Amino acid sequence: MLLINCPYCGERDQSEFTNGGEAHVARPKDPDQVNDREWSEYVFVRANPKGIYYERWVHTHGCKKWFNAIRDTSTDEILKIYKIGETPPLIKRFKNTLRSPSGEPDVGSGNFTVKKP
Amino acid sequence: MTQKYRLDKEGYINRKKSISFKFNGKKYFGYHGDTLASALLANGIHLVGRSFKYHRPRGFIGSKEDEPNAKVQLYNGAKTEPNAVATEVELVEGLVAKSQNCWPSVSFDFGAINNFLSKFFPAGFYYKTFMWPKSFWHKIYEPIIRKAAGLGVAPLKPDPDRYEHKFEHCDVLVVGSGPSGLGSALAAAKNGARVILAEDKSKFGGSLLTDQVTIGNKTGKEWADETVEQLKSMPNVVIKNRSQVFGYYDHNMMVMFERTKDHIESPNKYTPRQKLWYIRAKEVLVSTGSIERPLIFGNNDRPGILLASAAKEYIKKYGVLVGKKPVIFTNNDSAYDAAIEFKKNGINPLVVDIRKNSEGTAVKEAKDLGVNIKFSHAVANTKGYLRVSSATVGKLNNDKSGYENLENIPCDCICVSGNWTPTVHLASQSGNKLKFDEIISAFIPNQSHQNETTIGSANGSFTLKKSLEDGFNKGFEVSNKLTKKNIKSDPPTSNEKSYDNYEKFWCMPLPENKKYKRCVDFQNDVYVSDIELAIREGFRSIEHVKRYTTLGMATDQGKTSNLNGLQLVSNIENKIVPEVGHTTFRPPYTPVTIGTIVGREVGKHYRPTRKSPMHSWHEKNNAVFVDAGLWLRPRYYKQGNETLQQAAKREGANVRKNVGICDVTSLGKIDIKGPDSAEFLNRVYTNAWMKLPVGKARYGVMLREDGIVFDDGTTTRISENHFHMTTTTAQAVNVLAHLEYYLQVVWPELDVNVLSTTEQWAGAAVAGPKSRELLKKLFPETDVSNEGFPFMGFKEENLFGIPARVFRISFSGELAYEINVESNHGIFMWEKIMNLGKSMGIQPYGTEALSTLRIEMGHVAGSEIDGRTIPSDLSLEGMLSKKKDFVGKRSLNREAFLNPNREKIVGVIPVDKKTMIPEGSHLVKDKNAALPNPKLGHISASCWSVEYNNPFSLAILKEGKKRIGEKLYALSPLKNKSIEVEVVSSHYVDPKGERVRS
> Each residue of B923-955: pLDDT tens digit?
999 999 998 899 999 999 999 999 999 999 999
The helix/strand/coil state of A19 is strand
**Taking the CB of residue B931, how many other CB atoms lie within 10 A of it?**
5
The pLDDT confidence band at residue B184, using thresholds 50, 70 and 90, is very high
Q: Is A106 on the interface with B (CB under 8 A)?
A: no
B973: burial class by Cβ within 10 Å (0-12, 13-18, 19+)? exposed
Tell me the C-alpha distance between B126 and B486, whole Å. 61
CATH number of the structural domain B14-149: 3.10.20.440
From B247, which residue of chain A is nearest by alpha-carbon distance?
A1
**Residue A105, pLDDT above cutoff 70:** no
**Taking the CB of residue B177, how many other CB atoms lie within 10 A of it?**
30
**Residue B773, pLDDT above cutoff 90:** yes
The pLDDT confidence band at residue B582, using thresholds 50, 70 and 90, is confident
Q: If you write DSSP's letter for every residue of B507-526 in order, what string do you get?
A: BPPPPTT-----EEETTTTE
Of A39, A56, A100, nearest to B745 by CB-CB distance is A56
Across the interface, do B579 and A114 touch by the CB < 8 Å criterion? Answer: yes
The pLDDT confidence band at residue A109, using thresholds 50, 70 and 90, is very low
Amino acid at B491: P
CA atoms within 13 A of residue B421's CA, in its CB half-sphere:
24
Q: Is B579 on the interface with A (CB under 8 A)?
A: yes
Tell me the C-alpha distance between B63 and B48, whole Å. 14
Q: Is B424 on the interface with A (CB under 8 A)?
A: no
- CB-based contact A67:A83 (threshold 8 Å): yes
Q: Is B547 on the interface with A (CB under 8 A)?
A: no
What's the start-to-end Cα distance of chain A, in Å?
Answer: 39
Instruction: Output the pLDDT for position B141.
Output: 60
Burial pattern B328-366, b for ≥16 Cβ within 10 A else e, equals bbbbbbbbbbbbbbbbeeebebbbbbbbeebebbbbbbb
Flag whether the pTM goes above 0.80: yes
Say what angle helices B220-232 and B179-190 make with each other, to 10 degrees. Answer: 30
Q: Reduced to 3 DSSP states, what percent helix, strand and coil does chain B have, rounded to the nearest 5? A: 30, 30, 45
Q: Which of B504, B274, B477, B519 is nearest to B381 (CA)?
A: B519
Across the interface, do B579 and A64 touch by the CB < 8 Å criterion? Answer: no
Tell me the C-alpha distance between B863 and B953, whole Å. 12
The ipTM (two decimal places) reads 0.89
Q: Is B686 on the interface with A (CB under 8 A)?
A: no
Instruction: Output the pLDDT for position B433.
Output: 82
Of B250, B431, B740, nearest to A2 by CB-CB distance is B250
Chain B residues in contact with A65 by the CB 8 A cut-off are: 744
Tell me the C-alpha distance between B584 and B607, whole Å. 35
Beta bridge partners of B35: B90
Tell me the C-alpha distance between B221 and B207, whole Å. 9
Q: What is the mean pLDDT of chain B?
A: 93
B569: burial class by Cβ within 10 Å (0-12, 13-18, 19+)? buried
CATH number of the structural domain A3-93: 3.30.2270.10
Tell me the C-alpha distance between B643 and A16, whole Å. 43
Across the interface, do A3 and B584 touch by the CB < 8 Å criterion? Answer: no
Instruction: Output the pLDDT for position A73.
Output: 86
B362 φ/ψ angles, rounded to the nearest 5 degrees: -65, -40
- CB-based contact B389:B383 (threshold 8 Å): yes
**Residue B145, pLDDT above cutoff 60:** no
Instruction: Output the pLDDT for position A106.
Output: 45
Of B575 and B206, the structure prediction assigns the larger pLDDT to B206
Q: Is B896 on the interface with A (CB under 8 A)?
A: no
CA angle B559–A108–B438, rounded 5-degree value: 40
Tell me the C-alpha distance between A41 and B883, whole Å. 24
pLDDT digits (tens, 9 = 90+) for B809-862: 999 999 999 999 999 999 999 999 999 999 999 999 999 999 999 999 999 999
Across the interface, do B543 and A111 touch by the CB < 8 Å criterion? Answer: yes
Peptide bond into B910 cis (omega under 30): no
Residue B670 Cα, gap to closest chain A Cα (Å) = 15
Q: If you write DSSP's letter for every residue of B190-250 in order, what string do you get?
A: HTT--EEEE-SSSSS-GGGGTS--EETTEEHHHHHHHHHHHHHT-TTEEEESSEEEEEEEG
Tell me the C-alpha distance between B763 and B651, whole Å. 19
pLDDT digits (tens, 9 = 90+) for B1-22: 579 999 998 999 999 999 999 9
Q: Is B918 on the interface with A (CB under 8 A)?
A: no
Burial pattern B587-617, b for ≥16 Cβ within 10 A else e, equals ebbbbbbebbeebeeeeeeeeeebbbbbbeb
The pLDDT confidence band at residue B887, using thresholds 50, 70 and 90, is very high
CA–CA distances in Å: residue A103 to residues A112, B433, B449, B746: 8, 6, 10, 39
Instruction: Output the pLDDT for position B126.
Output: 59
Across the interface, do A39 and B741 touch by the CB < 8 Å criterion? Answer: no
The pLDDT confidence band at residue B447, using thresholds 50, 70 and 90, is confident
Tell me the C-alpha distance between B441 and B353, whole Å. 18
Rg of chain B over Cα atoms, rounded to whole angstroms, equals 38
In chain B, CATH 2.40.30.110 sits at 897-997
Residue A49 Cα, gap to closest chain B Cα (Å) = 19
Q: Is B737 on the interface with A (CB under 8 A)?
A: yes
In chain B, CATH 3.50.50.60 sits at 163-290+422-495
The helix/strand/coil state of B991 is coil
The H or E element containing residue A4 is: strand A3-6
Amino acid at B67: E
Among the ranges given (B93-107, B436-450, B671-685), the one the predictor scored with the smallest mean pLDDT? B93-107
Across the interface, do A36 and B894 touch by the CB < 8 Å criterion? Answer: yes
The H or E element containing residue B390 is: strand B390-396
The number of residues making up chain B comes to 998
Burial pattern B892-911, b for ≥16 Cβ within 10 A else e, equals bebeebeeeebbbbbbbbbe
Chain A residues in contact with B708 by the CB 8 A cut-off are: none
Instruction: Output the pLDDT for position A49.
Output: 82
The topology (CATH level 3) of B663-852 is Gyrase A; domain 2 (3.30.1360)
Tell me the C-alpha distance between B333 and B336, whole Å. 6
Q: What is residue B380's DSSP assignment? A: E
Across the interface, do B584 and A103 touch by the CB < 8 Å criterion? Answer: yes
Across the interface, do A66 and B744 touch by the CB < 8 Å criterion? Answer: yes
**Taking the CB of residue B541, how many other CB atoms lie within 10 A of it?**
15
From A58, which residue of chain B is nearest by alpha-carbon distance?
B741
Q: Is B428 on the interface with A (CB under 8 A)?
A: yes
Instruction: Output the pLDDT for position B146.
Output: 55
Report the percentage of chain B scoring pLDDT > 90.
Answer: 83
Q: Which of B805, B786, B788, B789 is nearest to B797 (CA)?
A: B805
Mutation target for A interface from B250, B446, B704: give the one with most A CBs within 10 A.
B250
Q: If you write DSSP's letter for every residue of A52-91 in order, what string do you get?
A: EEEEEEE-TTTT--EEEEEEETTTTEEEEEEETTSPPPPG
The helix/strand/coil state of B668 is strand
Among the ranges given (B98-102, B210-214, B420-424, B566-570), the one the predictor scored with the smallest mean pLDDT? B98-102
Mutation target for B interface from A64, A74, A100, A109: give the one with most B CBs within 10 A.
A64
**Residue A4, pLDDT above cutoff 80:** yes
Q: Is A36 on the interface with B (CB under 8 A)?
A: yes
The pLDDT confidence band at residue A47, using thresholds 50, 70 and 90, is confident
pLDDT digits (tens, 9 = 90+) for B321-347: 999 999 999 999 999 999 999 999 999
The pLDDT confidence band at residue B129, using thresholds 50, 70 and 90, is low
The pLDDT confidence band at residue B283, using thresholds 50, 70 and 90, is very high
CATH number of the structural domain B163-290+422-495: 3.50.50.60
Amino acid at B11: G
Q: Is B541 on the interface with A (CB under 8 A)?
A: yes
Tell me the C-alpha distance between B832 and B617, whole Å. 12
CATH number of the structural domain B897-997: 2.40.30.110
Q: Is A39 on the interface with B (CB under 8 A)?
A: yes
Q: Which of B742, B732, B639, B628 is nearest to B684 (CA)?
A: B742
Answer left, alpha or beta for residue B961, where phi above 0 means left and psi between -120 and 50 means alpha: alpha
pLDDT digits (tens, 9 = 90+) for B693-712: 999 999 999 999 999 999 99
Instruction: Output the pLDDT for position A25.
Output: 94
Tell me the C-alpha distance between B591 and B82, whole Å. 11
Q: Which of B99, B84, B87, B89 is nearest to B24 (CA)?
A: B99
Beta bridge partners of A78: A71
Question: What average pLDDT score do residues B596-615 get?
Answer: 94
Q: What is residue B100's DSSP assignment? A: -
Q: Which of residues 62-91 of A touch B (CB under 8 A)?
A: 64-66, 75-76, 84-85
**Taking the CB of residue A41, how many other CB atoms lie within 10 A of it?**
14
Q: Is A32 on the interface with B (CB under 8 A)?
A: yes
Question: What average pLDDT score do residues A34-47 get?
Answer: 94
Among the ranges given (A47-61, B142-156, B404-418), the one the predictor scored with the smallest mean pLDDT? B142-156
The pLDDT confidence band at residue B117, using thresholds 50, 70 and 90, is low
**Residue B104, pLDDT above cutoff 70:** no
pLDDT digits (tens, 9 = 90+) for B985-996: 999 999 998 999
